[in-house]
Structure 1
Amino acid sequence: MKIADYKSGHHQSFLAPAEQRLLRAIIGELPESVTALQLTRIGLIGAVIVAMALIGSRWSPLWMTLIPLGAFLNWFGAALDGPVALHRNTANPRLSLVEHICDLFSQILIIVAFGFSPFLSFESAFVVLICYLLFSAYTYIRAIVRHVQQMAYIGLGATEFRILIAVWPFAAHAMGVDESVDAGVSRLDAAIMILAAFAVCGLAIKALSDARRVAMDENGQGV
C-alpha cells in the first residue's frame, strides 16, 4: 500500500480498512528518526530474507521459520514508507519512485525464489510472475490515464499476497507437496495455470471496460 492508497478508500482489499487503522496507530508511535527511505530498505531486506528461506527450504525445512519474519518485515516497510512520508509532509515523486521500484523488485524476487523452492515448480512461479507483471503494468498505466491507483483486484491486494506467501509454504509442507521433484505437470501446476487464465481474462475484460470509459470521457469533453 502506497501514498495513493493511504489517501483514498477506493479499490481497497479485504484487509485494507483494518490495515489502515493499524498503520495510523504505528505511525503515531514511530520515532521521528525512522525515515520513509529506511522503511523502504526494511521492506527490501524482508523480501531478501523470504527469498533466501524459500530456496534454503529445498535442503532443510528449518529455513521455513524465517519466511513469516521476512514477510512481516516486507509488509512493515512497504506498507509504512508511503504513509509515513505523507504524514510528515516529506513525500515527493523521487521518493515515491524509489518505493515503487523496491516494492516491484521485492515481489519479483520472492516469486522467482518460489520457483527454486519445494513449494512451487519453476513453471508455476513463471506463470505467477507473468500475472503479477501484467497486473502491475496495468495498475501503473491506469494510474497515468485515469489518475487512480488501484492496488487491489477482487478484494485481493499486496497484504493478502504477503499473507499467502507466509502461509503457503507451511500448508504445502503439511500436505507433502514437493515441486522440486521433476515429475511433469502436477495438479498444482494445472490449478495455477487455470487460475492464471481466468485472472488474465478478467484483466482483459476490465481493460476493455476502462478503455471505453476513457473514450467516452474524451468524447464528452470534446462536445
Structure 2
Amino acid sequence: MSDTKKAISQDRKRTNILHDQEIALIAYLVERIPRWVTSNMLTSLGLAGNLLVALLMCVASVYGSWWLLLTPLAFFINWFGDSLDGRLAYYRKKPRKWFGFCLDIVVDWIGIIAIGLGYYTYVLPEWKIIGFIFVVLYGAEMIISQLRYKVTDKYSIDSGLLGPTEVRIILAILFCMDFFIPGSIHWIGLAVSIVLLFSFISDFRQLLALADERDIALRDQQQQAS
C-alpha cells in the first residue's frame, strides 16, 4: 500500500465492495487538490451535493422526471466532498479527528433528511411513507455505527459489503430508472427500505453480541483486580 493510501485510511476499517477502487481514487485525488481547498470546504461541497439531489427531485415533481437524470452528478458531488474532506486532512497531516467526526455525522444526517424530503415531494401520495421509512432506517444505521465505535473503539461506516458509496450508486440508479420506467421509484424504494430494515436488524444483533463480549471482559478484569 502506498504512503498516501496508508495516511488516508489509518483511522477506520472499511468492508464495502468498492473499497479498493475507492481508496485508490481518493489517494489520487488528495495529492492533486489545490492547497487553498480546505477540508471544511469539501464538507460544505458534500452537503451541497445532497441538497442538490433534493432540489432536483422537487423540480422533477413539477417539470418532469428527466430532471432525475442529473442526480448521479449530484451524488458524485456529494461523494467527492464527503469522501475527501477527512482524507485530505490526514494526507496533509492536519487531522481534526473529533471535530471532523462530529461535523460529518451532523452534516450527513442533514443531507439524508434533505433527500428524504425530496423523495417525499416527488412520489405519489400513497408512497410518501417510504421516504420517511428510508430516513428513519438510514438514521438507525448511523446510530449503529456510532454505538459500534463506542463499544469496540473501532470506527466503521459500512454495513457488511455496503457503504455510503454503494448506497449513493443504488440511489442514483433508483432515481434515474424512474425516467425510463415511470413508477419504478416506488417499488424500488420499497425494496431498498426492506433491505435497510434487515441490515439494521442484523447489525443491531451483532452490536449486542459485541457489547455482551465487552461486558464479560470488563467483569473478568474487575474480578481479577479484586
Give the TM-score category using the shorter length.
Answer: 0.7 to 0.9
Q: Partners of 1:163 and 1:64 in 2: how far apart?
A: 14
- Aligned-residue Cα RMSD (Å) equals 2.4
The alignment of Structure 1 onto Structure 2 pairs a total of residues equal to 214
Q: Which residue of 1 aligns with 2:89?
A: 85
- Give the AA of the match of 1:108: I
Q: Partners of 1:221 and 1:79 in 2: how far apart?
A: 39
Tell whether the 8 Å contact from 1:123 to 1:189 is kept in structure 2 after alignment: no
Q: Partners of 1:193 and 1:167 in 2: how far apart?
A: 15
Q: Which residue of 2 aligns with 1:15?
A: 18
- Give the AA of the match of 1:104: W
* 1:161-188 Cα distance to aligned partner (Å, 9 max, x none): 1111211111233222177xxxxxx755
Q: After the TM superposition, which of the residue ranges 86-95 and 17-26 deviates more from structure 2?
A: 86-95
Paired residue secondary structure (2:200): helix
- Give the AA of the match of 1:142: R
Tell whether the 8 Å contact from 2:157 to 2:163 is kept in structure 1 after alignment: yes
How many Å apart are 1:197 and its aligned residue?
4.0
* 1:23-50 Cα distance to aligned partner (Å, 9 max, x none): 0000111111111011011101111111
Q: Which residue of 2 aligns with 1:219?
A: 219
Please point out which of 131, 137, 142 is paired with 1:136.
142
Q: After the TM superposition, which of the residue ranges 190-199 and 131-140 deviates more from structure 2?
A: 190-199
| Structure 1 residue ranges (4+ consecutive) displaced by more than 3 angstroms after TM superposition | 186-197
Give the share of equivalent positions with the same residue, in percent.
22
Q: Does 1:208 align with 2:208?
A: yes
Q: Partners of 2:194 and 2:168 in 1: how far apart?
A: 21
Q: Does 1:72 align with 2:76?
A: yes
- Give the AA of the match of 2:58: I
Cα 1:170–1:188 shift into 2, 3 Å: closer
TM-score by length of 1: 0.85
Q: Which residue of 1 aligns with 2:3?
A: none
Q: Return 5+ residue gaps in structure 2 as ranges.
A: 1-6
Cα 1:192–1:45 shift into 2, 3 Å: closer
Cα 1:146–1:9 shift into 2, 3 Å: closer
- Give the AA of the match of 2:75: A
Tell whether the 8 Å contact from 1:81 to 1:99 is kept in structure 2 after alignment: no
